[in-house]
Every structure is written in C-alpha cells, then in structure tokens.
Chain A
C-alpha cells in the first residue's frame, strides 16, 4: 500500500503523525482563496510525481489526480514485491480506481468564457469562445482532466492489461473501487488488482461548488481545528487531496509467490439511499444496508467488529445520521466499538478518502493502535459513540469496518481482517 496525503508522502511518517493527532490543514496556497468563504484546506506539500515513476517521459504531462495516483501506486508496488516476481502475468493484472475529475485549467477556461461572453444577450458566442480557447488551451491539460486518466497512467507505469475501471461515486468512490476490485478477483477475472483512489478539488471551481452548497467549514480564524467530526460545534468538512493505493491479490496468487500479506478483505457492501440528491435520509437506511451487506458477505456479526473507520466528514447532517445508522446495525455492541474519523487530521480527500482510510485500518490491525478523532472537545449529544477522542489508543484490533458515503446517496462498506 501507499499514499500521498496532506500529512506526508509515505506510509510510516504519515501514520505516526496521525497517531500523534497532527493536522494537515492550513491556509490554501494552491490558488488565491483569500476572499472565499473558506480560505483553508489540507494540501499535499513538496510532492514531485517524477521521482516515483520509472521514466517521466513515459507519462508526459499528467493531471494532479494522475500525479498523486502514480506516487501512491509506486509505493504500493514497491512494497508488494511484485516487480521481482517472474511469474507475474500482466494480462491478469487489472486496475480499479475511484478517481475524481481532474483540475480545470481555470485561468484559460475563464479567459475563453469571458472572451466569448456577449453582455447584451447574456450568452456565450461560441465562435468567439472557440477563437480564444483554441489560442490558450493545451490539449494534454484538457485530456488530463478526464476521470479515467489516473487508470490510464497506472496502466502505462505497471503494464497492466487486465480489467481496468474507474468509478466516481463522489466521496464513496475509492471504497467502492476496492470492493469491486475484490469482486473481480473473487470472480476469477484477474489475479492482481491495483486499487484505491485519487482526487483533488482544491481549485477555484471545486471550492466554489462546495462553498455554494455550504458543505465546507468556514472556521477561517482557527483552521487547524476546523475539521471536528462528531463535535457539537462542527460546521462542515475541510477539503483535502491526495491518493491512497493498495494491491489486492487472490490468496492463491499471494501464497504462490510468498507475498507478505497485510490483511484480508472479507466483506463488501454497496447501496443507494434513493432519497434526495441534497440530503441524507434521517433513518440512514442506505448506510445501514451497506454495512449489513458487508457483514453478511464477510459472514461476521457485530460482535466481531473491533474498530470502525467512520465516514465522519464533520458536516452537521452526516455525523449524527452516520452515528444513528451504525448504532442501528451494531445494536448493544455500539457501546463497545470505537469509531474514529481521520478526516479530522487529513481533511476529506473526496474520491480518495475511502482508500486512505482503509489503509489506516490495515495499520491499526498491524500496530494494534486506533487513530484518534481530533478536535472533539464538546461531543454533539446526537453523537454518543466512542470516537477515540483526541488521542490515539492501544486496543486489540483484528477486524475493521470502513464506511464511505457519497453525495447523492451511494454508500459503500469494506470489512478487513487480520490475515491468519
């Protein structure tokens, strides 16, 4: 596994910073957000994708989402030992990502739009628009915005020729990708899958979109404490960016090559709220169905769950509804199961969030350490579970459940287990 995150660029140092409860949030420097309702975010720093690939010329110009994907996948590839495995059949190696949209070429896009604007008709004159756009836009930059481009670049880097997919179910995307990659392996359609997610929406139109939805925290005077899942004073999520990648294999394939197995994926569930595009149903029926399916798929009961990685965005609506849905699935057991949100430190990596969070679950099992929910000083009465508040905790941890819920109502759950 590997990741590129606002707290760092490798598994071990980021994990240690998470366990120390550090924050990756700071004023936005990616663009001038100084007058936006939200002026901060959790940004990736000091990253150069060229250092992670075999040959940068192979890739040419890549979009930010593909760049993050390459670095995270290179770490995962390195740690998997697959490069040295002579028996690797690249026609049986696939990719399944939850990759977001790329970053618009904002400057030139705006120039074309304003250049094509007819103030009298209040319409775009397409011919005038085209004249400006053709003069300033760059084809690689434009194609690089397609959501499938991270898959395309990973395929170039690793020579994968098996089944490849990208899904984009908003904030649920990479959890869904890992779930469907698991199904492809179970089905026998591939032996190895590179899977995970990558995304950044830290650009003027991305922040505009979420600000208009009033989904982002606007705690501009205290941004390090703005991401406060389950806290009474939470006021929205904090935008993050980055990628998380893992390599899944069939057990037979992993054993045959003597792989170091980090964990087993045992359960996957997927559902839709079918409620409203803007709201979550109060009864959390979609989230509940997703968790129940994952438990049934794993052949486990609530008694088996040791830790839950929450979706835990820090929006008013999500955290209380999520708590209710988890409690309705776990019943009495919900008093004992710790559930935390690393979004309190990393921000919300949107399509990439689920993959990064699943990696923290693998590490929690490895180290028997649960990551904290930071900034939880005054719990919301509607959020009454054990959220591992403000400090990491040593605890027995063998089975973890990770939830992701997308805007619009697509829900996904993965359960992983210590491999034995």
Chain B
C-alpha cells in the first residue's frame, strides 16, 4: 500500500501577487494581471500584452548568506527560488532556508525533516539569455563593417562574459538553487516539457513520496517568457492573441467562441507535497495544515501527425487518457469531480480539443461542472502553469469556492457560461495541462 500524499504549502508568484493569500484574493475577485508589457519595448511585436510579476526583489526571498548567488540567477530561477521560499513558509516547514538564525548560545529551531528526506522536482523550460549582457560581449567581436567575427569572439569577445555565465541558463539550476538554499538532499529532478512541466513534476514527486524515497518535496515549476527571444518564438507559432492589445483584461477568452489566442505570463509555482504520515507527526506542533490530498495523477502523449504533435488532436484523445488515468488512480468517476481547472489557454485549436475530451468523459453533465481557466488572470505561465492551477484548486477546496470564470459570454457548445466566484460544495478538483509538443499531465485533488 503506497503512502498517501497531501499538499501542505503553496507558493505562487504571479502577476497577481506574491504568495497564496495575495493571489487568491486577486483571483477570487476576478482581477487580471494582463497589461501592456513593461519589461521591454513591445512595439515591434504583434502581441504587446503579458502578465508580468511586478515589485519583485529576489533578495527578499533568500537567506542573507545566499544573496551573492542571486547574481547568477536568470529570471526563471529567481521566480522558482521565491516561490519555494513562500511555499516552505506557508507549510510551516523549517529548512536551512527558512529557519531563523540560531541564537548565540544553544541550538536553533530543529529542522522539520532530515535533509536526505527532502526532495525537489521543479519543472523548467529553455531559459533565454539576457540579451543586453550577451550582446555587450558580442559587440566586442565585430569586423570593421559591423558584422560578427567569430575569430574575435574566440580570442577575446567571450572573455567579456562572466565566468559563470552558462550557469545562469541551465534549466536544472532552478532545482539546484532551491536544494542548496533549503538543504534538500533527496531525489531531485528537472522536467522540461513546456506547459506540462509542473504537472509532470508534481506527479513524479508524488510517486517519489509514495514509494518512500522522500517524505516531502518542493515541486512545481517556474518560467518567464517575457523577453524578446522567448516571446518571439510564441508569436512565430501563432499562439498569441494579437487583436486585443487595447483590451488587456478581455484578451484571453478560454472556451469562448471568440477566443483568439493566449497571453503569456511569468510565474513561479511551487507546492509542498508531503507524506500524510510524516506530515501528521509534525502538524500539531508546527501549526501546519493540509490544503488537499493528491489522490490521482495521469500522464499521456498526444499523437497528432498533422501538426507534428505541436497541438492536440481535435478529439483530445491524449488529454482524455491523462484525465482518465488520474481518475482511475483517484478511484472516482467523473461524477465526483466538482471543479475543473483546465489548460484553457484561449487558443481555439486547444480549447476545442480540450472541450471534446471533457465532453467524452463528462457527457451531458459537463455544462453543470464549472470549467474555470485561470489564464485570463495570470496568463499562460509555461512551466509554472500546472502548479499554479494546483494552488488555485487547493485553495478552492479549502475555501469551498469556485473561482470566477472570465471572458466566456458565448461558450463553446457543451460548456457552461462564465460568471463570478461563488461558494459551492467541492470535494474533488481536476486540473490538467497540455504542452507545446503534446505531453499531458492531469491531477486530481481531494478535500481533506
């Protein structure tokens, strides 16, 4: 019999705010963080909107002794580190990173777990170089005519880059910094499957705990595509909303007949997963609480040769397979699901495939089940997005509240219309994500 796994801490860092309280308050009031881009001049791009994390200083989220290391953190790493700090504190988890400095005499606060029992499974994506930093070096390696000279680059141009330059951009550095700060020496992984990354990471962390290889895990993901290179890739793929630059809050319209593309966000989404047995042993003394139990996980791969697996097949077959696997493990049928937090990016081809998958599973009942996409609020946050939905789902279970469903005045056939937040009896929440490339992850959460 495998161990039961619960969520004990949530650490969303999004355009809506830092931490679960700020995020939930903004989310449940239907706020949107989508606004004109300020990180760079977007005038040369067709989409000029994003959900940016503002007023964010990484120095506030690392121990004083680790501040120097923040110089080698790309934005994606900063978001992960901050989210992990918030999640650990929310879980009342005492780690090397969250413990108060020890008093001058005597021992400090004891750690919640031996370091070898703490794992990390943090999803990431391709991290874009900071263009100013790289180009100031490239500019030193030009010919007379201004074009690039690779010989000059090899001789002296590359020397302009800081020796640790590469380490800012390795995807595994999200997990590495988090494990160093919190002294997490247990199993550690970095899953890089675009938007499915954090759902797959959460599922894998759950398996690690179930099989007893760790007791607690930092899991989820982080990513920022709010930089010219990553942003352009999404625009070239035609994934972005381009017609609503003047109407930011209305730009993302998941499952609406007028859906016309997605808007990118940036975020860190870290969740603390814990074995129920070890959590119970520490809960009373620490004041920690369980948000929800993770009762089911499923993963699958889209097979859609017409788009080389870059988009879901029109029937959403693989999305359905992931959801069905998660329901099977949870031991419940679709009738037990009270709230669905879908991928719901507002790209018509995705929305239609997801709607087909949901209709196949839920049948005529689908119109009565709230299907609430959070992407009109914090955007599509890539490798962080699945974990953010887990944060929203867990908080929905705790507060017994269906979050607001924005921008759906003319729903796709079979789905209900949008509406404000409302109280409801919620026992099970389903959430899933599908990646650019077709990896799918689904998770079922249960009220504790």
Contacts and interface: CB of A to CB of B under 8 A. Distances in A.
A383 B387 CA distance: 44
B158 A101 contact: no
A388 interface: no
A285 interface: yes
Interface string B307-334: 0111000000110010001000000000
A321 B422 CA distance: 58
B146 A213 contact: no
B251 to A, nearest CB: 20
A146 to B, nearest CB: 6
A128 B44 contact: yes
Nearest to B161: A212
A407 B176 CA distance: 9
Interface in B39-57: 40-45
> Counting chain A CB atoms within 10 Å of each CB, which of B190, B191, B298, B299 scores highest?
B190
B59 to A, nearest CB: 18
A155 B309 contact: yes
B120 A212 contact: no
Interface in A134-155: 134, 137, 139, 142-143, 145-149, 151-153, 155
Contacts of A109: 229
Nearest to B177: A277
A183 B211 contact: yes
B308 A58 contact: yes
B283 interface: no
B172 A113 contact: no
> Counting chain B CB atoms within 10 Å of each CB, which of A35, A37, A94, A109 scores highest?
A35
Interface in A99-153: 99, 101-102, 109-111, 113-114, 116-117, 119, 122-131, 133-134, 137, 139, 142-143, 145-149, 151-153
Given A148-B192, A166-B191, A293-B213, A156 B437 contact: no
B418 interface: no
B154 to A, nearest CB: 3
A277 B176 contact: yes
A134 B232 CA distance: 8
A67 to B, nearest CB: 14
Contacts of B207: 183, 187
Nearest to B37: A126
A409 B189 contact: no
B236 to A, nearest CB: 4
Interface string A26-49: 000001111111000000000000
Given A274-B183, A408-B173, A167 B138 contact: no
B124 A161 contact: no
Contacts of B148: 110-111, 114
Nearest to B134: A113
Interface in B123-178: 124-126, 131-132, 134-136, 138-139, 142, 146-148, 150-155, 158-159, 161-167, 169-173, 175-177
Contacts of B439: 148, 151-152, 164-166
A286 B318 contact: no
B309 A156 contact: yes
Contacts of A293: 213
> Counting chain B CB atoms within 10 Å of each CB, which of A111, A129, A159 scores highest?
A129
A36 B228 CA distance: 28
A331 interface: no
B98 interface: no
Given A127-B41, A161-B321, A147 B308 contact: no
A58 B305 contact: yes
Contact of A273 (B185, B192, B193, B305): B185
Contacts of A212: 158-159, 161-166
A203 to B, nearest CB: 11
A129 B42 CA distance: 11
B72 interface: yes
B185 to A, nearest CB: 5
Contacts of B303: 90, 155-156, 159-161
B387 to A, nearest CB: 16
B76 to A, nearest CB: 13
A308 B341 CA distance: 47
B300 A163 contact: yes
Contact of B435 (A134, A148, A169): A148
A153 B301 CA distance: 11
Contact of B135 (A117, A211, A213): A117
A275 B176 CA distance: 9
Contacts of B169: 209
Contacts of B185: 271-274, 285-286, 289
B115 A274 contact: yes
A156 B307 CA distance: 10
Contact of A95 (B42, B194, B301): B301
A406 B152 CA distance: 31
Contact of B161 (A146, A162, A208, A406): A208
A167 B177 contact: no
A49 to B, nearest CB: 14
Contact of B136 (A122, A139, A149, A189): A122
A408 B167 contact: yes
B198 to A, nearest CB: 12
B438 interface: yes
A273 B185 CA distance: 6
A60 interface: yes
Contact of B166 (A204, A213, A275, A410): A213
Contacts of B125: 146-147
> Counting chain A CB atoms within 10 Å of each CB, which of B186, B194, B236 scores highest?
B236
Contact of A163 (B124, B188, B299, B437): B299
A58 B135 CA distance: 37
Contact of A156 (B139, B184, B305): B305
Contacts of B300: 91, 161-164
B187 interface: yes
A176 B189 contact: yes
A272 B184 contact: yes
Contact of A408 (B151, B170, B236, B237): B170
B22 interface: no
B200 interface: yes
B192 A113 contact: no
21 contacts: A91-B300, A114-B147, A116-B135, A124-B40, A130-B232, A137-B232, A145-B126, A148-B436, A155-B303, A155-B438, A161-B300, A165-B191, A170-B170, A180-B189, A204-B150, A270-B187, A272-B185, A274-B115, A274-B180, A289-B116, A408-B173
Given A148-B192, A156-B303, A161-B300, 8 more contacts: A114-B148, A119-B139, A147-B125, A152-B439, A155-B301, A161-B318, A164-B299, A277-B69
Interface of A: 31-37, 58-60, 90-91, 94-95, 99, 101-102, 109-111, 113-114, 116-117, 119, 122-131, 133-134, 137, 139, 142-143, 145-149, 151-153, 155-156, 159-170, 176, 180, 183, 187, 189, 204, 208-214, 270-278, 285-286, 289, 293, 406-410
